[in-house]
Structure 1
Amino acid sequence: MSTLWTSEVLTDIALRISTDGAIRFWDEDEQGNPQELSNANIIRYLNDFLPAVGIYNLPEEGIKGIPELAMVFVFENRVEKINPRQFESLVRKVLDEAGYAKVNQLMHFKKSKFYGKDVLLSVQRIEGRTLLRDNNSSSFGFFLNGYVEIASDKVTEIMSYSSLPGNSYVWNDLISHRKYLTPALEIRSGDRHFRDFVANLSRDAEGALSDQAFERLQIVIGYLCHRFHQESQRKCVVLMDRLEDDNHIGKSNGGTGKSLLIRCLSEVLNVISLNGKAFKRSTEDRFALAGVTEAHELVNFDDASERFSFESIFPHITGDFYVRRMRENPIAIPGDRAPKIVITTNHPMEGSDISHRRRQILVEVSSFYRQLLESEGKTPADVHGGMELCGSEWSEHDWNEFYQFIFECIQIYLKKGLPKHNEQSETYKRVQLIRRCGSAEMLDALVEILEQVSASGEEWFSEQFYAVTRSSVPQCSQTDATLLGLLKDVAEENGYLFNPHKNGLIDKQRLSGERWNRWVALGLDQSTKKSGGSYQKDDRVTVFRISKDGGAVEKNALELLMEQS
């Protein structure tokens, strides 16, 4: 990002100063020499000269809603924050450029009157101006030669910043240092480097392009590039390597293009990348987010480890974005202006309950580029014209293709919104369940029990389940309550219904009639109650049924009730 006050801009301002006497705050004698500066000159300096140069104070909402002033330089509706040193440097350069170096000399001897703290606070404020922001139905792209508006059904041609709507302004650090040229011709298929790159990230396990995965990734890119928060759709995007089998659990492969994708998005977003490996529950640094400012639009936790503390960023995903800095009071970026969050990782994220899932949008990335590197030694640059994606060798044509694809992604997101459900591959689901169960052996034992109980349509005793599980998995160390909870989790993930006749709740029945006979036949009459002593006839015990549709369970439960009545 280049500074707003370029040599061309300074020349333009200097020309206005030299040709418009009303702007000049100093007095001159008959020979044109500037006179000593008085308090009246200082007032004209504040009221006339600084606004003509484009220097103002901009009221901003600070911490806890308390207004703060930020000194800014404004040119053609573009705004850039400046500090006191830059303020002085800008004034001096403009005066020198306009040919008034002697005025600078006079000001030097009254420096505090023109550049001191009291003066900074007395600079005129910008009133009635609003920052041009993305909204619910549109987004804006800012370029060196103007801006475009992206809506779900159109992308405008490039427009001048002087034509910004509604007396609004744009932060200069959001403006690309490149130009956008409205395409005169349709981009050839062979030149669609970025589109092809995203398509390769969306290939399935057999290497074929998955249209569903491609659209999902487009929607996620559009979501990240849309600088607006819908309160109900605030999510953290998780870009993860697609696992081909559960043998990759705990292994760090990478090389799939996830980080490269985020680096490309930094061409249209203000991105801050943080070390995802360092963000762990046990060693979490309270100041890990210290570098995040309100200017950032995307926080990238790059290459997160298996131990990434996802729960620690819950509040940042759905609430205000709190930032702690060493020896400073914490600051809160309001939720509607908070940066979005993306995590790149080679591992499934810890946690799969509703609190985790409702805050995540998972995108599994193809291993296309990693396999290509391993088999042929080729990098993404080799695949895409021998040039680094979004690199210095790209032509204007390549950049236009990139921008057009980003606009297309935003349009698709504006039309469809984020996916309602997290689509996960079967391998990903299995890996998550293995983590929760503690081993693949335990997961397989639970799945086998679910299949058996469902197929038979019969009622099982919980004690029967515990005995069978521990027999199948001798190293089992989980408590009875944990095992039953795991069975419910595995049932839900695999499409089974646990006690559907009880809406998933525990079912307690008396050991009477046929049920007592089954209990004895299974040898459970020798088992011990948690309260001590053995089970007796007519004691109440926990039972469950499993079904794929629930119908057979309800029928059998009714039959049992009739038998016992």
Structure 2
Amino acid sequence: MIEAIYRNDVCKFTQTENAERCDFLQFLKRTSMIEPCGSENEYRNNVHLLSKLCAIGYLVIGYKDLNNPRAVFCESGTRNGKTLFANLFKEISRMYIVQGKIGDPFLWSEMPEDIKIVLIEDFSESFKLETLFNNITGDWYINKRGGRHSFLPFSKSPKLILTSTQPLTSKDPSLTHRMWRLQFSDYYGQEHRVESDFGKLFYHEWDTTDWAYIWELIADCIHLYLRYGYINTDINECR
């Protein structure tokens, strides 16, 4: 469906006819329009798209790379598409969703052991991402009520998706080396909804053809991730 050549921080795509028919891919393209049209950095929008595609491959594939473990950090304003992106994995994988107080010492106590992805939605500004460092790079020790606990080795622990309305601004290497930053443009918002573009609610109103395109796209995402790995979208770091 989609192939990429990524060299010297420049990405060029080739696509089949199915790429135009895949609503989710068109959604990813529009939410990757970060740099203004006509600006010197407009070419970077292809890099933003490639980063999203590779992140999908990273989240879907079972293998966890001990040398480069990351949490996928989705940032945007309200209704810009980050949660819709994250919810794809609720449909195609085993996901556990965390809302509310993340500082709870029993945060993971109700999480089934076969969970593949954990989604932490719109955490508060006061939450320190450093709290999750062990969950990103190491084994999980899970406290349970009644003094019980369990253990998940790194190789079997879930991957993390974080969504936030606040950008990842810290330049602390300990943080940036653990985050896969995905930015979502303001193409969609309160006045312009995704369903108004495509005429259907994603996932819930998809038919078998829509899902066939998604699985074809996911196969390409895995291929792109295995080829390119983590894609950095920070202009200042790339230069």
Question: TM-score, structure 2 length as denominator?
Answer: 0.84
Contact 2:118 2:161 in 1 (8 A): yes
Alignment partner of 2:36: what SS? coil
Q: Does 1:268 align with 2:92?
A: yes
Q: Does 1:389 align with 2:202?
A: yes
Give 1:302 shift.
Answer: 0.7
Tell me how far apart the structure 1 counterparts of residues 19 and 134 of structure 2 sit (CA, whole Å): 43
> Could you say which structure has the higher helix fraction?
1
RMSD of aligned Cα (Å): 2.3
Q: Percent identity?
A: 23
Distance in 2 separating the partners of 1:301 and 1:390? 20
Distance 1:316 1:350, change over 3 A: farther
Conservation of the 8 A alpha-carbon contact between 1:237 and 1:343 = yes
Which residue of the other structure, out of 290, 296, 299, is the alignment partner of 2:109?
A: 290
Aligned partners of 2:145 and 2:179: how far apart in 1?
A: 30
Counterpart position of 1:193: 23
Q: In the alignment, which residue of structure 2 is the partner of 1:301?
A: 120
Moved over 4 A (4+): 186-190
C-alpha separation between the residues in 2 aligned to 1:307 and 1:355? 18
CA-to-partner distance for each residue in 1:223-266, whole Å, 9 max, x for gaps? 1111111110111111112xxxxxxxxxxx42111111111122
**Is 1:215 the counterpart of 2:50 in the alignment?**
yes
Equivalent residue number for residue 362 of structure 1: 181
User: Alpha-carbon deviations, 1:262-301, whole Å to 9, x = none?
Assistant: 11122221111111x522xxxx210122222321100111
2:18 and 2:67 mapped to 1: Cα distance? 39
Secondary structure, aligned partner of 1:330: strand
Structure 2 residue identity aligned to 1:389: F
Q: Secondary structure at the match of 1:273?
A: strand
Q: For 2:18 and 2:54, how far apart are their aligned partners in 1?
A: 23
Q: Which residue of 1 aligns with 2:229?
A: 417
- Give yes or no for contact 1:322–1:333 (8 Å, CA) kept in 2: yes
Out of 80, 101, 110, the position equivalent to 1:278 is 101
| Residues 390 and 352 of structure 1, relative CA distance in 2, 3 Å threshold | same
Amino acid at match of 1:394: W
**Structure 1: gaps (5+ residues):** 1-151, 153-185, 242-252, 427-492, 496-565
Contact 1:202-1:366 within 8 A present in 2 as well: yes
Which residue in the other structure is 2:160 paired with?
Answer: 341
Q: Does 1:204 pair with 2:16?
A: no
Q: Using CA pairs under 8 Å that are at least 6 residues apart, name the structure with larger relative contact order, 1 or 2.
A: 2
Give the structure 2 partner of residue 313 of structure 1.
Answer: 132
Deviations 1:419-458 (A, max 9, x none): 3xx43257xxxxxxxxxxxxxxxxxxxxxxxxxxxxxxxx
Structure 2 counterpart of 1:353, one-letter code: D
* Alignment coverage as a number of residue pairs: 219
Task: Call closer, same or farther: CA 1:350–1:187 in 2, change over 3 Å.
Answer: closer
8 Å contact 2:188–2:194 — kept in the other structure?
Answer: yes
* Structure of greater Rg: 1
Tell me the equivalent position of 1:352: 171
1:226 aligned to 2:36? no
CA distance in 1, matches of 2:227, 2:19: 25
